[in-house]
Amino acid sequence: MNALMATARRDVLLALRRRTDVLTAIFFFVIVVSLFPLGIGPEPALLKKIAPGVLWVAALLATLLGLPRLFQADYLDGTLEQMALSPSPLALLIAGKILAHWLLCGLPLVLLAPVLGLQFGLDAASLGMLSLSLLLGTPLLSLIGATGAALTLGVRGGGVLLAVLVLPLYIPTLIFGAGAVAAQSAGLGVEGHLSLLAALLALAVFFAPWATTAALRIALE
């Protein structure tokens, strides 16, 4: 567990020393979401209907923005080799990196989403549900994304390949995440959506660090 926290702390510190990467993703999220009400105009019913989808798709794309750099710096400067040679299990170190990615890239989206949701005229219950669904969903995006980032590490044009690889895998998260918010604003039950999201998250927490580690070992060879 110490190894996990060590890499998480290191990555957060590194990101704070070089803020542009993190701020770019957050700014992208804010701008993309804000463009929709401006483009569509004052039609409260329509805005309310598209809000869950817009916010969730924007969160997906914002997560994708930083993914190619998740392992790249460590790969290029040899830190990843040192991690692979550490007595601590590599999967734990990698889990720490994924945790840091979520703290820097996922958590800000969870906190910002309710504020941005106000532009779409969502009621308080729906805003709460939006935060809750993102709280369950963004770690999932980080976990799946990390596996994709590891698979495309060191590949030329890896950024595009990463998007092609990861976006289809994000579809279930998107459907259940946006679905939960839509169900809430339509006054329907949300337990089904949330439990499926939680189940996906539990699966990913277990398998994604392991799969990411296996992919990184291949990249290191």
Partner 1 sequence: MLTAAHLACSRGERRLFADISFSLAAGEWLHVQGENGAGKTSLLRLLVGLSPADAGEIRWRGALVGGMKTTPEAADFRRELLYLGHHAAVKDELDALENLRFSAAIDGLPFDQVKALAALQRLGLRGRESLPVRVLSAGQKRRVLLARLLTRSAAVWVLDEAFNALDSGAVQLLGALLNEHLAAGGLAVLTSHQPLPLPGGRVLAL
Q: By CB under 8 A, how many residues form the interface with partner 1?
A: 27
Cα 28 to the center of its chain, rounded Å: 14
155 binds partner 1 (CB under 8 A): no
Choice between 88 and 119, CB closer to partner 1: 88
Q: Are 176 and 197 in contact (CB under 8 A)?
A: yes
Instruction: Name residue, tokens 């994709």.
Output: 148
Choice between 69 and 217, CB closer to partner 1: 217
- Minimum distance from CB of 85 to partner 1 (Å)? 5
Distances (CA, A) of 58 to 1, 48, 61, 86, 140: 33, 16, 5, 37, 15
Q: How far apart are CA 54 and CA 145, in angstroms?
A: 20
- Structure tokens given for 22: 């993190």
- Minimum distance from CB of 93 to partner 1 (Å)? 6
Q: What is the largest CA-CA distance in the chain?
A: 59
Choice between 95 and 127, CB closer to partner 1: 95
- Within positions 66 to 105, which residues make up the interface with partner 1, using CB under 8 A? 76-79, 81-89, 93
Choice between 90 and 174, CB closer to partner 1: 90
Q: Cβ–Cβ contacts within 10 Å for residue 83, how many?
A: 22
- Minimum distance from CB of 211 to partner 1 (Å)? 15
- Minimum distance from CB of 98 to partner 1 (Å)? 15
- Within positions 178 to 217, which residues make up the interface with partner 1, using CB under 8 A? 217
Torsion angles phi and psi, residue 187, rounded to 5: 80, 20
Q: Go through the chain and tell me how many residues it has.
A: 221
- For the four alpha carbons of 189, 194, 199 and 204, in that order, the dihedral sign comes to positive
Choice between 72 and 119, CB closer to partner 1: 72
- Within positions 12 to 31, which residues make up the interface with partner 1, using CB under 8 A? 13-14, 17-18
61 binds partner 1 (CB under 8 A): no
Q: Write out the residues near partner 1 by the rule CB under 8 A.
A: 2-3, 6-7, 9-10, 13-14, 17-18, 76-79, 81-89, 93, 217, 220-221
